[in-house]
């Protein structure tokens, strides 16, 4: 069996000179690349954005070839988790090459980093771009698939469709190299059919030429692949004529599913039938058909019976075509579905909001969800004063766009720009002063702080918790074992502090001690003050964090619940119970001599040497805390 080599691959351009069309994009890219020669440019990464098959990937490789750069590529077939990106791209970005040349890091289809496997990938990319010593190139079809932070960090270079007149010489060259006599009309036809996608044009040429030495235009119409209909032409067919058959044929030639097509018709039907003293009745009738088509689309989804797509298509296309009672001449600029645009905007706003929430979460040792729901307002208020705004911006590492969002502005005013610039200066200064640990370490060291009675867990646990959380996406971060009192690492007013406490208590819950010996969550009235520490230090194994819903009613003894029988209302969101807790029954928890390593640090807590119970609680600490079980271990 002979192996058929794809011509598109065989004739992939090797140098920038061979790239067809998109001259400006190629020039901009070369200019950016040349900025890497004297040192590190302001924008360390570029985004090559554009439709499929217009030469983005080829241009990236051709640039590396022309500049004499090595290439490291991570494409969509590789698993691109945050870990892999950091390992491959991160290490490539932070190291110099053997002979001091540059190394181009290409992330192809960077807008397709979604799904569980690619979690955290965007954040990893942003982190790498900020500190890379090597040029980075992100290739995307849809730039909105990237987070605003990444977009801010990169220079964007747009690639457009390749014009058919530019394609013709490239296709001729392929014919010459393959020894095929192709008529100019045939080449022209292939170029026009391709709709700006040179890869498709080359594929069409290969398909048409297979088994032939001479290629005429007739061969193209019979042997070429299905030619993509242009959506705008289909809209015209539907809205300008009443010929259902032709409209349906045109719609079938489209590279759109009925689920997408219905949005196009929905968007343009009212615009078309309202033009030229439009008729409301026509619009109503048209939407009547669309709603029935939508019913079928719903059934397709529900039953996974794609056979019903044909009824949906028929209803939407023919229904929209025949619902007009008069012709609607004149030009109408058909629009892409505004729903998609809105969704794109919403998505980028949502990404922006989540980025901020995750930064606040990291800063305040809270989950992203908690930060999003409860701390936004607070941090936003802290941006009101100029000095505190600068400090917050620096501490959180906010990008300009994020600062605008969090401060509630719509654009970068002079004041915001100034805050941002000063925060950047502060960051630069801070980096130079490695001894200013407090600034760079926003949370005070837990061991060194005198914890309030409601905040006790050992730092080893905290480290384990943090590292396990970091491997997850921030949304799945939990506040288990986290810092129970918010400590922002900078001076905040007593009012603000009170506000934080209120916000916590109102929104998610309160912190109450957890008793290991009884296996119960103590009611909120049971504070550390009421614990007889001398007698029960051993008992006080850890701190439980429960939502207010759990504390309803009077905290009577019969309200106490054992961990093994958590109520349904006990949502893991507000009270993240580690998975392994399920396997722990109350008997295990209530082992009387189970050593514990997490006990509240209480002011002047008596630690009498003669007290056997106090000694018993100290002893396991010395022997090895790793073997000790706490609530956070489960």
Ligand X SMILES: Nc1ncnc2c1ncn2[C@@H]1O[C@H](COP(=O)(O)OP(=O)(O)OP(=O)(O)O)[C@@H](O)[C@H]1O
Binding residues for ATP: 50-57
String of DSSP letters for 48-76: EE--TTSSHHHHHHHHHHHHT-EEEEE-T
Q: Which is nearer to ligand X, 160 or 444 (CB)?
A: 160
Q: Which is nearer to ligand X, 11 or 516 (CB)?
A: 11
Strand partners, 106: 73, 137
Please report how close the Cβ of residue 59 comes to ligand X at its closest, in angstroms.
Answer: 7
Q: Which is nearer to ligand X, 55 or 600 (CB)?
A: 55
Q: Are 63 and 104 in contact (CB under 8 A)?
A: yes
Please report how close the Cβ of residue 210 comes to ligand X at its closest, in angstroms.
Answer: 17
Backbone angles phi, psi at 48, to 5 degrees: -95, 115
Q: Which is nearer to ligand X, 19 or 631 (CB)?
A: 19
Please report how close the Cβ of residue 6 comes to ligand X at its closest, in angstroms.
Answer: 8
Q: Are 488 and 444 in contact (CB under 8 A)?
A: no
Burial 315-337 (b: 16+ CB within 10 A, else e): bbbbbbbbbbeeebeeebebeeb
String of DSSP letters for 592-605: TT---S-----TT-
Q: Which is nearer to ligand X, 157 or 368 (CB)?
A: 157
* Residue 378: its H or E element: helix 376-382
Token couple for 310: 């044909």
Q: What does the binding site for ligand X look like in residue numbers (CB under 6 A)?
A: 8-9, 11-13, 19-22, 52-58, 141, 162, 170, 198-199, 202
The residue at minimum Cβ distance from ligand X is 55
Q: Which is nearer to ligand X, 20 or 320 (CB)?
A: 20
Q: Are 522 and 515 in contact (CB under 8 A)?
A: yes
Calpha distance 344→570 (Å, rounded):
35
Please report how close the Cβ of residue 164 comes to ligand X at its closest, in angstroms.
Answer: 13
Q: Are 529 and 452 in contact (CB under 8 A)?
A: no
Q: Which is nearer to ligand X, 14 or 445 (CB)?
A: 14
Calpha distance 108→325 (Å, rounded):
50
Q: Are 104 and 70 in contact (CB under 8 A)?
A: yes
Please report how close the Cβ of residue 428 comes to ligand X at its closest, in angstroms.
Answer: 37
Calpha distance 580→283 (Å, rounded):
58
Helix (H, G, I), strand (E, B) or coil at 181: strand
Q: Which is nearer to ligand X, 16 or 262 (CB)?
A: 16
Q: How many C-beta neighbours within 10 Å does residue 134 have? A: 24
Closest CA to 196 of 58, 91, 334, 50: 50
Please report how close the Cβ of residue 586 comes to ligand X at its closest, in angstroms.
Answer: 57
Q: Which is nearer to ligand X, 21 or 542 (CB)?
A: 21
Annotated binding site: 50-57
Q: Which is nearer to ligand X, 12 or 561 (CB)?
A: 12
Please report how close the Cβ of residue 52 comes to ligand X at its closest, in angstroms.
Answer: 4
Strand partners, 73: 106
Largest Cα–Cα distance in the chain? 103
Angle (CA) 394-454-436 rounded to 5° is: 25
Helix (H, G, I), strand (E, B) or coil at 466: helix
Please report how close the Cβ of residue 161 comes to ligand X at its closest, in angstroms.
Answer: 10
Please report how close the Cβ of residue 9 comes to ligand X at its closest, in angstroms.
Answer: 6
Please report how close the Cβ of residue 300 comes to ligand X at its closest, in angstroms.
Answer: 28
Q: Which is nearer to ligand X, 52 or 428 (CB)?
A: 52
Q: Are 350 and 114 in contact (CB under 8 A)?
A: no
DSSP 472: S
String of DSSP letters for 391-447: HHHHHHT--HHHHHHHHT-SS--HHHHHHHHHHHHHHHHHHH-TT-HHHH--SPPTT
Please report how close the Cβ of residue 543 comes to ligand X at its closest, in angstroms.
Answer: 52
């Amino acid at each position: 069996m002979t192996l058929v080599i794809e011509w598109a691959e065989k004739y992939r351009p090797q140098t920038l000179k061979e790239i067809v069309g998109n001259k400006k994009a190629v020039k901009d890219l070369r200019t950016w690349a040349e900025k890497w020669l004297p040192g590190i440019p302001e924008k360390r990464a570029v985004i090559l954005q554009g439709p499929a098959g217009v030469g983005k990937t080829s241009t990236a490789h051709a640039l590396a070839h022309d500049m004499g750069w090595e290439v490291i590529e991570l494409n969509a077939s590789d698993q691109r988790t945050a870990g892999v990106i950091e390992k491959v791209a991160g290490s490539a970005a932070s190291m110099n090459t053997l002979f001091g040349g540059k190394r181009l890091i290409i992330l192809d289809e960077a807008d397709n980093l979604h799904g569980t496997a690619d979690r955290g990938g965007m954040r990893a990319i942003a982190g790498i771009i900020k500190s890379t010593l090597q040029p980075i190139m992100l290739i995307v079809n849809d730039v909105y698939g990237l987070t605003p932070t990444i977009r801010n960090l990169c220079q964007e270079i747009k690639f457009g469709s390749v014009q058919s007149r530019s394609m013709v010489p490239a296709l001729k060259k392929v014919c010459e190299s393959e020894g095929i006599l192709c008529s100019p009309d045939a080449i022209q036809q292939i170029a026009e059919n391709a709709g700006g996608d040179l890869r498709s044009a080359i594929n069409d040429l290969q398909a048409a030429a297979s088994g032939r030495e001479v290629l005429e235009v007739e061969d193209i119409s019979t042997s070429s692949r299905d030619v993509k209909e242009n959506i705008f032409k289909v809209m015209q067919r539907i809205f300008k004529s009443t010929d259902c058959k032709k409209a349906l044929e045109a719609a079938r030639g489209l590279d759109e599913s009925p689920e997408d097509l219905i949005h196009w018709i929905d968007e343009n039907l009212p615009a078309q039938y309202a033009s030229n003293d439009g008729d409301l009745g026509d619009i109503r009738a048209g939407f009547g058909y669309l709603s029935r088509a939508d019913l079928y689309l719903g059934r397709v989804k529900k039953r996974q019976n794609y056979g019903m797509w044909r009824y949906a298509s028929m209803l939407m296309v023919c229904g929209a075509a025949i619902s007009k009672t008069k012709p609607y001449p004149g030009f109408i600029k058909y629009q892409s579905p505004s729903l998609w645009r809105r969704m794109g905007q919403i998505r980028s706003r949502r990404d922006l909001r989540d980025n901020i929430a995750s930064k606040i979460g990291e800063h305040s040792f809270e989950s992203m969800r908690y930060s999003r729901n409860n701390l936004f307002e607070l941090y936003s208020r802290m941006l009101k004063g100029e000095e505190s705004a600068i400090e917050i911006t620096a501490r959180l590492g906010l990008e300009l766009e994020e600062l605008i969002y969090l401060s509630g502005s719509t654009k970068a005013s002079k004041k915001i720009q100034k805050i941002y610039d000063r925060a950047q200066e502060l960051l630069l200064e801070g980096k130079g002063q490695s001894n200013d640990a407090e600034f760079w370490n926003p949370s005070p060291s837990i061991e060194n702080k005198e914890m309030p009675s409601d905040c006790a867990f050992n730092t080893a646990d905290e480290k384990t918790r943090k590292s396990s959380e970091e491997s997850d996406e921030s949304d799945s971060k939990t506040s288990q074992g986290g810092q129970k009192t918010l400590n922002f690492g900078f001076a905040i007013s007593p009012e603000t502090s009170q506000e934080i406490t209120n916000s916590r208590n109102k929104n998610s819950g309160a912190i109450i001690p957890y008793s290991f010996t009884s296996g119960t969550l103590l009611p909120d009235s049971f504070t550390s003050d009421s614990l007889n520490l001398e007698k029960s230090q051993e008992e006080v194994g850890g701190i439980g964090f429960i939502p207010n819903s759990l504390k309803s009613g009077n905290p009577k003894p019969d309200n106490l619940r054992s961990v093994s029988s958590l109520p349904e209302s006990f949502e893991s969101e507000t009270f993240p119970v580690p998975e392994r807790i399920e396997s722990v029954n109350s008997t295990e928890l209530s082992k009387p001599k189970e050593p514990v390593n997490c006990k509240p640090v209480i002011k002047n807590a008596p630690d009498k040497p003669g007290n056997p119970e106090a000694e018993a609680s100290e002893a396991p600490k010395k022997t090895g805390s790793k073997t000790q079980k706490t609530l956070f271990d489960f």
